[in-house]
């Protein structure tokens, strides 16, 4: 995306603004399908929680993607976006049996991640095939907030409990039609990931008639220049070999599934914010923008790096800045960043703003959430209006005192 085009969007729709280039989403989707083109049956289920605007889901539906959901609300948005229930997988954690039954009644594939619910569900609905989420206890990488496959993790059923799963299956007569793992974000080392997949193959072959193996996600994308990213083509080559071998031994062409969020949408997103104030202190120069952790919490929550560019002055002399928000709390987007000279009212562009950015936004400080715009087939569309005071007050019951 070039600066003048982004400036035009900021001018047309105002700031702060989320902007998604769907060509980048399509490119990423094609990259992952290409990596596994030598596997007979492949299904990519987009993880809706990364960016859940219904129009983005429609783009994925048009690509023949499936949908990975973690709440009944995501399932409902997916259905409204046009996904057929059989193309949706539901992978809740710590969710009630009631909600799981409600989703199952819609015809959506259920993925259960604990023995207690598995046993209850199996007794009540032995006829509904279930996928099980396994925790392989492999540390895929990243920090503990985003890595979910380790021993202390709340996610999945431990591989050591597979005998118990088999007992539940036997006792209830239920059918396990898939096995799943999701080791968390940021796969840095393909061999570690492959070790986890071997564990999953081992589990899979202990069940008679599975239809799919879901390897979850955790593909890392670059956040800065020369940043390491998961080499998806290499992973594709290595895993394809193992997967096809598994199918041969198992005697059935099961479906290989992945459920990436970040990989598919992170780089498509750009966040545009206007500089309200430049403030010199004894130790640094702050640039304060018309946004904060209410709109974009990843830098503060995960300590994640997002590249920041001054698109109003791209050729300006470079200086050092700390970019901060307007929330009455410390909300630093980037410290000591070298950026072309920033003046008040300049527009800054934050990169990798597609995944876990808008979807984690809030109304903290009673601020409006930003608008969202999508570029599709060369045309920009407003896909979410900026909020108003009415949105903030909706559902508040005013009591006369
Ligand atoms: C969040 C989540 C994903 C997506 O993870 P990314 O790191 O965004 O690719 C996939 N599967 C499950 C079960 C998830 O909870």
Q: What is the CATH number of the domain that holds 306?
A: 2.40.37.10
Give the Å distance between the CA of 260 and the centre of ligand 1: 6
Least confident interval from 40-49, 147-156, 289-298: 147-156
Predicted confidence (pLDDT) at residue 41 exceeds the cutoff of 70: yes
Does one domain contain both 162 and 224?
Answer: yes
Are 88 and 79 in contact by the 8 Å Cβ rule? The answer is yes
Determine whether the shortest distance from the Cβ of 149 to ligand 1 is under 6 A.
Answer: no
CA separation, residue 178 to residues 112, 129, 245, 282 (Å): 10, 8, 17, 59
Does one domain contain both 252 and 103?
Answer: yes
Residue 105 within any structural domain of the chain: yes
At residue 36 the predicted structure's pLDDT band, cuts being 50, 70 and 90, is very high
Give residue 54's pLDDT.
98
Domain's final residue, options 214, 229, 261: 261
Domain's final residue, options 233, 261, 289: 261
Does one domain contain both 199 and 277?
Answer: no
- CA proximity to 343, closest of 298, 249, 283, 279: 279
Predicted confidence (pLDDT) at residue 145 exceeds the cutoff of 60: no
Q: What is the CATH number of the domain that holds 76?
A: 3.20.20.10
Q: What integer is the mean pLDDT of 30-34?
A: 97
Ligand 1 atom nearest 148 alpha carbon = 15
Predicted confidence (pLDDT) at residue 140 exceeds the cutoff of 70: no
Determine whether the shortest distance from the Cβ of 216 to ligand 1 is under 6 A.
Answer: yes
Does one domain contain both 142 and 203?
Answer: yes
Ligand 1 atom nearest 355 alpha carbon = 8
Sequence-ordered list of residues with C-beta below 8 angstroms from that of 401, at least 6 positions apart, any chain: none
Give the Å distance between the CA of 134 and the centre of ligand 1: 14
Considering its fold, how many domains does the chain have in total?
2
Residue 398 within any structural domain of the chain: no
Give the Å distance between the CA of 141 and the centre of ligand 1: 14
Determine whether the shortest distance from the Cβ of 58 to ligand 1 is under 6 A.
Answer: no
Determine whether the shortest distance from the Cβ of 119 to ligand 1 is under 6 A.
Answer: no
Give the length of the chain.
401
Determine whether the shortest distance from the Cβ of 69 to ligand 1 is under 6 A.
Answer: no
Please, how many CA atoms are within 13 Å of residue 38, restricted to the half-sphere of its CB?
14
At residue 230 the predicted structure's pLDDT band, cuts being 50, 70 and 90, is confident
Count the Cβ atoms, other than its own, within 10 Å of residue 118: 22
At residue 186 the predicted structure's pLDDT band, cuts being 50, 70 and 90, is low
Q: What integer is the mean pLDDT of 342-361?
A: 98
Least confident interval from 143-157, 168-182, 322-336, 380-394: 143-157
Torsion of CA 192, 207, 69, 97, to 10 degrees: -130
pLDDT in tens, 283-314: 999 999 999 999 999 999 999 999 999 999 99
pLDDT in tens, 243-276: 999 999 999 999 999 999 999 999 999 999 999 9
Q: What integer is the mean pLDDT of 107-126?
A: 97
Does one domain contain both 245 and 306?
Answer: no
Give residue 119's pLDDT.
98
Give residue 151's pLDDT.
62
Ligand 1 atom nearest 259 alpha carbon = 10
Domain's final residue, options 261, 288, 309: 261
Residue 401 within any structural domain of the chain: no
At residue 229 the predicted structure's pLDDT band, cuts being 50, 70 and 90, is confident
pLDDT in tens, 57-98: 999 999 999 999 999 999 999 999 999 999 999 999 999 999
Sequence-ordered list of residues with C-beta below 8 angstroms from that of 346, at least 6 positions apart, any chain: 274, 275, 310, 311, 312, 313
Residue 125 within any structural domain of the chain: yes
Please tell me which residue, 187 or 105, carries the higher pLDDT value.
Answer: 105
Predicted confidence (pLDDT) at residue 110 exceeds the cutoff of 90: yes
Active-site residue (options: 131, 328, 349, 357): 328
Predicted confidence (pLDDT) at residue 148 exceeds the cutoff of 60: no
Are 113 and 155 in contact by the 8 Å Cβ rule? The answer is yes
Residue 34 within any structural domain of the chain: yes
- Tokens in use for 201? 């193959």
Give the Å distance between the CA of 30 and the centre of ligand 1: 19
Please tell me which residue, 218 or 383, carries the higher pLDDT value.
Answer: 383
Does one domain contain both 140 and 208?
Answer: yes
Does one domain contain both 204 and 274?
Answer: no
Give residue 341's pLDDT.
98
Residue 271 within any structural domain of the chain: yes
Determine whether the shortest distance from the Cβ of 47 to ligand 1 is under 6 A.
Answer: yes
**Angle, nearest 10°, between helix axes 190-204 and 232-250?**
20
Sequence-ordered list of residues with C-beta below 8 angstroms from that of 143, at least 6 positions apart, any chain: 302, 303
Give residue 138's pLDDT.
81
Does one domain contain both 225 and 295?
Answer: no
% the chain with pLDDT above 90: 88
Predicted confidence (pLDDT) at residue 144 exceeds the cutoff of 80: no
The answer to whether residue 328 is catalytic is yes
At residue 188 the predicted structure's pLDDT band, cuts being 50, 70 and 90, is confident
Ligand 1 atom nearest 261 alpha carbon = 8
Question: Is residue 17 within a helix (H) or strand (E), and if so which, with residue range?
Answer: strand 17-21
Predicted confidence (pLDDT) at residue 225 exceeds the cutoff of 90: no
Does one domain contain both 171 and 294?
Answer: no
394-399 contacts at long range (C-beta below 8 A, 24 or more positions apart): none
Residue 200 within any structural domain of the chain: yes
Give the Å distance between the CA of 50 and the centre of ligand 1: 8
- Tokens in use for 371? 């608008």
Determine whether the shortest distance from the Cβ of 159 to ligand 1 is under 6 A.
Answer: no
Give residue 218's pLDDT.
83
Does one domain contain both 235 and 378?
Answer: no
Ligand 1 atom nearest 185 alpha carbon = 7
Give residue 32's pLDDT.
96
Give the Å distance between the CA of 48 and the centre of ligand 1: 9
Are 90 and 151 in contact by the 8 Å Cβ rule? The answer is no
Does one domain contain both 226 and 317?
Answer: no
Q: What integer is the mean pLDDT of 92-114?
A: 97
Residue 400 within any structural domain of the chain: no
Determine whether the shortest distance from the Cβ of 361 to ligand 1 is under 6 A.
Answer: no
Torsion of CA 140, 144, 150, 156, to 10 degrees: -100
Predicted confidence (pLDDT) at residue 141 exceeds the cutoff of 60: no
**Which domain covers residue 27, as residue numbers?**
23-261
Does one domain contain both 38 and 108?
Answer: yes
**Angle, nearest 10°, between helix axes 115-124 and 162-172?**
10
């Amino acid at each position: 995306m070039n600066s003048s085009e982004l400036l035009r969007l900021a001018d047309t729709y105002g700031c702060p603004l989320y902007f998604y280039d769907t060509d980048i989403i399509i490119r990423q989707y094609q990259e992952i399908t290409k990596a596994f083109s030598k596997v007979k049956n492949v299904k990519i289920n987009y993880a809706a929680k990364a960016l859940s605007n219904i129009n983005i889901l429609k783009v994925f539906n048009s690509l023949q993607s499936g949908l990975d959901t973690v709440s009944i609300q995501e399932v409902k948005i997916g259905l409204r976006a046009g996904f057929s229930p059989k193309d949706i997988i539901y992978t809740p954690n710590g969710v009630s049996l009631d909600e799981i039954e409600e989703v199952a009644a819609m015809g959506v594939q259920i993925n259960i991640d604990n023995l207690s619910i598995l046993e209850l569900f199996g007794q009540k609905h032995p006829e509904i095939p279930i996928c099980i989420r396994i925790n392989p206890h492999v540390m895929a990488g990243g920090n503990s907030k985003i890595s979910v496959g380790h021993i202390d993790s709340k996610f999945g059923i431990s591989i050591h409990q597979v005998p118990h799963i088999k007992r539940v299956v036997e006792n209830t007569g239920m059918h396990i039609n898939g096995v799943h793992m999701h080791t968390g974000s940021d796969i840095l080392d393909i061999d570690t990931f492959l070790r986890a997949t071997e564990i999953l193959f081992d589990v899979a072959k202990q069940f008679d008639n599975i239809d799919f193996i879901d390897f979850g996600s955790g593909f890392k994308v670059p956040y800065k220049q020369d940043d390491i990213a998961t080499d998806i083509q290499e992973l594709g080559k290595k895993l394809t070999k193992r997967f096809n071998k598994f199918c041969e031994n198992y005697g059935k062409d099961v479906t290989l599934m992945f459920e990436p969020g970040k990989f598919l949408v992170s780089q498509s997103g750009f966040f545009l914010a206007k500089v309200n104030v430049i403030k010199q202190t004894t130790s640094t120069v702050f640039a304060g923008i018309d946004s904060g952790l209410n709109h974009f919490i990843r830098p503060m929550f995960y300590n994640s790096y997002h590249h920041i560019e001054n698109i109003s002055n791209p050729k300006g002399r470079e200086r050092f800045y700390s970019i901060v928000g307007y929330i009455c709390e410390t909300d630093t987007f980037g410290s000591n960043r070298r950026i072309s000279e920033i003046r008040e009212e300049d527009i800054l562009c934050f990169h990798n703003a597609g995944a876990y950015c808008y979807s984690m936004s809030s109304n903290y400080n009673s601020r409006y959430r930003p608008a969202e715009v999508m570029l599709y087939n060369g045309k920009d569309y407003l896909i979410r209006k900026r909020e108003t005071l009415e949105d903030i007050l909706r559902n508040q019951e005013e009591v006369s005192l």
